[in-house]
Amino acid sequence: MNRRDAIRLMAGALAAGVVGRTFAQNSPESAGFPSKPIRIVVPFPAGGAADALARPLALQLEKKTGQSVIVDNRPGANTIIGAGNVLSSPPDGYTLLLANEAGLALAPIMTPITGVKVPFNVEADFAGVSLLAQYGSVLTVSKNLPVKNLQEFLAYARQSKSKLNYASFGIGSQPHIMMEMLSRQAGIDVTHVPYKGVAQAIVDLTAGLVQVMISAPAAPLPYIKDGRLRALAYSGEKRLAELADVPTFAEGGLPEFNARGWFGVVMRAGTPAAIRDWLCDAVWAVVQSPEYRKQVILNNGYEVPEVDPGKMPAFLMDDRTNWKRTVRLVQGRLAK
């Protein structure tokens, strides 16, 4: 049996709840790891959606390892700064990257449009550890906008003739690309207003300075629940439990619209196999724990990942392929 098959079997056992066996076979002592603090680099600002996943993960790993696990926020350049920091560290498992599609898929694809060179090769430089969460995107509007559902919004946008502004987290970010995809499919025209991060975008959306945003549910979720923002549609195959009253895009009349994202942990390629295997087990066990699933993943508007560590390499490759296809469809709009 090769190593890839072994990981798949191991991950399947974990998913079925057989966690103790793999930790016994591949314990920190047997791998000689960890013997010092672990650092999780988060390439997003502190207090955001990524932190909501990273900090509880760090606490759980501390309990398992007896070592400090430090969350190090290094935002900027569509996650490239944080990724570069990880690649400047030794491939020893002590520096991990909390990654998502922004840096490992979109940033390299968007280089011809953004002009931002990505100083790494995703396949050659990074190895997957585990997904933490998957998610669809929620279309959110200012409560001052006179629309109650997706079709009313699209009709209003067509009548407004470019008078609507939408927020994103920068040129080439997922909210930018997916709003342009929605505009293309629905025949609307809205003006892009890029922000450096989600915090200010949410502030301006609630104030009505921008009128619409499509993003992961985590950031707008509290504002939707207390009525300061209105959610119109969700891009999952089924409704999100935390937004049970919000229909999917398919229910709203756009069955072809698909905006999916993920957060996960990766490490430098070349990390010793024993350490890599142990980290895959450790992080995946946290993700599968009832505490993390309910309090961290579901309560923040994410979905529990269906991809175990053994399937993560194929998942990441498919993700890059899918985003290349999406960007190609809206490339002319993105270059404006």
Boundaries of domain holding 204: 138-258
Six token digits for residue 335: 């270059």
CB atoms within 10 A of CB 233: 27
Query: Residue type at 102?
Result: A
Q: How far apart are CA 79 and CA 101, in angstroms?
A: 10
Nearest to 79 by CA among 102, 105, 108: 102
Asked if residue 121 and residue 31 are part of one domain, the reply reads yes
Asked if residue 129 and residue 31 are part of one domain, the reply reads yes
Phi, psi of 148 (to 5 degrees): -120, -15
With H, G, I as helix, E, B as strand and everything else as coil, classify residue 98.
strand
pLDDT reported for residue 222:
94
Query: Cα-Cα-Cα-Cα dihedral of 62, 65, 68, 74, to 10°?
Result: -80
End position of a domain, from candidates 202, 232, 258:
258
Domain count, the chain: 2
End position of a domain, from candidates 258, 281, 315:
258
Asked if residue 271 and residue 122 are part of one domain, the reply reads yes
Asked if residue 270 and residue 247 are part of one domain, the reply reads no
Six token digits for residue 313: 């390499």
With H, G, I as helix, E, B as strand and everything else as coil, classify residue 252.
coil
Asked if residue 212 and residue 167 are part of one domain, the reply reads yes
Nearest to 129 by CA among 311, 294, 261: 311
Asked if residue 230 and residue 159 are part of one domain, the reply reads yes
8 Å CB contact between 168 and 294: no
Asked if residue 9 and residue 131 are part of one domain, the reply reads yes
One digit per residue, the tens of pLDDT, for the chain of length 336 reads 444 444 343 444 333 333 333 443 445 454 578 999 999 999 988 888 889 999 999 999 999 999 999 999 998 877 889 999 999 999 999 999 999 998 899 989 888 888 888 889 999 999 999 999 999 999 999 999 999 999 999 999 999 876 899 999 888 888 999 999 999 999 999 999 999 878 899 999 999 999 999 999 988 999 999 999 999 999 988 999 999 999 999 999 999 898 889 999 999 999 999 999 999 999 999 999 999 999 999 999 999 998 999 999 999 999 999 999 999 888 877 766
Asked if residue 181 and residue 92 are part of one domain, the reply reads no
CB atoms within 10 A of CB 1: 7
Asked if residue 270 and residue 154 are part of one domain, the reply reads no
End position of a domain, from candidates 258, 287, 322:
258
CATH number of the domain within which 268 lies: 3.40.190.150
Asked if residue 225 and residue 155 are part of one domain, the reply reads yes
CATH number of the domain within which 174 lies: 3.40.190.10
Asked if residue 118 and residue 145 are part of one domain, the reply reads no
pLDDT reported for residue 274:
94
Asked if residue 292 and residue 254 are part of one domain, the reply reads no
Q: How far apart are CA 275 and CA 271, in angstroms?
A: 7
